[in-house]
Copies of this chain bind each other. A is one copy, B any other.
Amino acid sequence: MARDFSKVIGKIDSIAAKVYEDLEQSEIPYLLLPTRTKSNIQFNEQLSVWKYGKNTTERSAKSLDGAYMMLRTMYMVDFIKEMIKTKKSSTLREMYYISEGWDLAKFHSQPESDMLAEDLEVITQCMREDFKLRPEEDGARVIGNLTIEEITRNNEKKKIHCQDDVGDSGYSIPYNVEPEKITFKSADAKFILAVETGGMFDRLVENEFDTSNNAILVHLKGQPARSTRRFIKRLNEEKKIPVLVFTDCDPWSYRIFGSVAYGAIKTAHISEYLATPTAQYLGVTPSDIENYKLPTDSLTKEDIHALKSELSDPRFQDQFWKHEIKLQLSLGKKSEQQALAKYGLDYVTDTYLPEKLAEMGITKK
């Protein structure tokens, strides 16, 4: 992973060099990259994450569309170099609009330009952040006994303690969480609890679960942004703090867990930078629906389809997940984190979480 932007420039320059070489040899220029589908992700034993397999896709200038795409690639490489040089960054949306000035190379839709940015990542083994490209998503929030040093836009070092120096909304994770932007000065916690919904995050903050249980709370905000996953990964690795994931009880939430623990299909080329292989799923589990008699909704057709698809997803092949997914299909029910409020606002912190943590061996009964 390139931290050093001169390395990034070297890597993207080599793409242009490849195309130039093809042309010089009177060959039709093409680029090879891994196929980005579920059937082409494999478990990498060494890294303990899911990575792309050996299937490749060719992007060639043979067709007119392919030639346009090659032209766009050259423009984008140029734009990225310009941003690195001027210390700017841009959103993926802005880059799409920037292409208005690229004449024939103009993109027709944002998915086209997003896809090309991903292609460049895959080819160069860099991250979008190395290209100074960022998403629209807002940063997630963090509360806990953790001191972060952030290099601000004015190049000042700012130390922020994620309990003492922030309001009750916590510290907002910036879109760039690489070491050139943030470092973890100190972190004292028994575990990191990654929480799907804002309602539950605020509940845990209000109930002071972070101080009473020595936990760092991270709000995932649904399907977590890359920066959130990378933040959790770095905190886990650098400070050796275990990660627990607390979500709703439905197939979409299991995918959230999957992307935190094993990586997502779309970003499997950088799984080792985003995924936290030791992350554990805390709940809500289908078993919890029964054990805690939680309020439920019926599974929809889409839910059932997604659960069945997870049964064949390489990320959900262990005993635990096979059992829980099958149980859920037989129950025909799903539930939400906040459903625990059935027993009152303190139930989750006084009863549910302590019981689950003890069960998982994180704390003593």
Residues of A within 8 A of B (CB): 83, 88-91, 93-95, 97-98, 100-101, 134, 136-139, 141, 148, 150, 152-153, 158, 160, 165-175, 182, 197-199, 202-203, 205-206, 208, 219, 221, 295, 336, 338-345
Contact = CB atoms under 8 A, between A and B. Distances in A.
Contact of A136 (B95, B136, B169, B199): B199
Given A97-B340, A100-B342, 12 more contacts: A83-B345, A91-B338, A93-B336, A93-B341, A94-B203, A94-B338, A138-B138, A138-B141, A138-B219, A153-B168, A167-B172, A172-B172
Contact of A167 (B97, B160, B208, B221): B160
Q: How many copies does the complex hold?
A: 2
Nearest to A176: B168
A94 B150 contact: no
29 contacts: A89-B206, A90-B203, A91-B202, A91-B203, A91-B338, A93-B199, A93-B336, A94-B338, A97-B339, A97-B340, A97-B341, A97-B342, A98-B345, A101-B344, A136-B199, A138-B141, A138-B198, A138-B221, A150-B167, A152-B167, A153-B205, A153-B206, A160-B166, A166-B172, A167-B174, A167-B182, A168-B174, A169-B174, A170-B172
A97 B134 contact: no
Contacts of A173: 169
Contact of A202 (B95, B175, B338): B175
A344 to B, nearest CB: 7
